[in-house]
């Protein structure tokens, strides 16, 4: 049977462990906040959704930025899209709305955040400083849906640096947002302005 001294030692040991855990928890929160700030800054002007930081010993920390679309004013969107509204937005009985198309969701997020440019994707490709053959291949490969894939294609097919490929992929994705909006307006017969968002 344990005597009072054994209990006392175990109580002290547990108290010390709890104290160390509190210090480690505070340090963990501090480091997570640092990576949150660094990751947010790194992705500020990027279409990438995550960035990975690696150490010399092979450890890594990945920061991921989530984007979620919530329709705050579905009546405005319904008026803007007109008869095409139900083709792209699912109306639930609650009523809640769910975007049925990933392209339309990217468009709505891009319009809402102001991440679009009023030029066409083909205009972006025609501005790339590479051969017309490379431009023709890129016009088939680029989608504006997966930023990392577009960067890779621009870098490998066009022969651009990582930074230039990233800049062009960003511009292309913004052009796709506006092009999707323009096509939806034509389809619905509406005359919408993305500034409504």
pLDDT means per 10 residues, the chain with 197 residues, are 72 91 89 85 81 89 80 82 86 78 92 91 96 95 94 96 94 95 86 68
Q: Are residues 83 and 40 in the same domain?
A: no
Please indicate, yes or no, if residue 93 is contained in any of the structural domains. Answer: yes
Other C-beta atoms within 10 Å of 13: how many? 10
48 domain-assigned: yes
Q: Within this chain, do residues 111 and 55 fall inside the same structural domain, yes or no? A: no
Residues composing the chain:
197
What's the total number of domains in the chain? 2
Q: Are residues 169 and 94 in the same domain?
A: yes
Is 24 a domain residue? yes
Residue 125: the pLDDT is 96
pTM of the model: 0.58
Q: Which residue segment(s) compose the domain that 34 sits in? A: 4-64
Domain boundary among 45, 64, 83: 64
Quick one: 58 exposed, middle or buried, by C-beta within 10 A (0-12, 13-18, 19+)?
A: exposed
In this structure, the answer to whether residues 60 and 91 fall within a common structural domain is no
Q: With contact defined as beta carbons under 8 Å apart, do 180 and 97 qualify?
A: no
Residues contacting 155, CB < 8 A, separation 6+:
161, 162, 165
46 burial class (0-12, 13-18, 19+ CB within 10 angstroms)?
A: middle
Question: Do 49 and 137 fall within a single domain?
Answer: no
pLDDT value of position 150: 96
Same-domain status, 45 and 111: no
Q: Note the pLDDT of residue 97.
A: 81
Last residue of a domain, one of 29, 64, 99: 64
Shared domain for 94 and 35, answered yes or no, is no
Asked if 186 and 120 touch (Cβ cutoff 8 Å), the reply is no
pLDDT of res. 95: 67
Residues 95 and 163 in one domain: yes
């Amino acid at each position: 049977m344990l005597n009072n001294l054994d209990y006392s030692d175990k109580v002290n040991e547990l108290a010390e462990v709890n104290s160390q855990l509190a210090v480690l928890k505070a340090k963990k929160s501090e480091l997570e906040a640092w990576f949150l700030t660094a990751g947010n800054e790194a992705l500020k002007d990027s279409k990438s959704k995550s960035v990975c930081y690696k150490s010399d010993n092979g450890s890594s920390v990945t920061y991921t930025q989530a984007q979620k679309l919530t329709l705050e004013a579905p009546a405005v969107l319904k008026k803007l899209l007109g008869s095409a509204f139900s083709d792209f937005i699912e109306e639930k009985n609650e009523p809640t709305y769910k975007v049925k198309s990933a392209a339309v969701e990217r468009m709505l997020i891009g319009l809402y955040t102001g991440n679009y440019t009023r030029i066409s994707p083909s205009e972006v490709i025609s501005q790339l400083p590479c051969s017309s053959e490379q431009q023709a291949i890129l016009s088939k490969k680029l989608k504006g849906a997966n930023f990392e894939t577009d960067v890779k294609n621009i870098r490998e097919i066009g022969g651009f640096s990582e930074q230039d490929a990233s800049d062009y992929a960003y511009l292309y994705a913004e052009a796709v947002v506006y092009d999707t909006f323009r096509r939806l307006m034509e389809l619905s017969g509406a005359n919408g302005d993305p500034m409504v968002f």
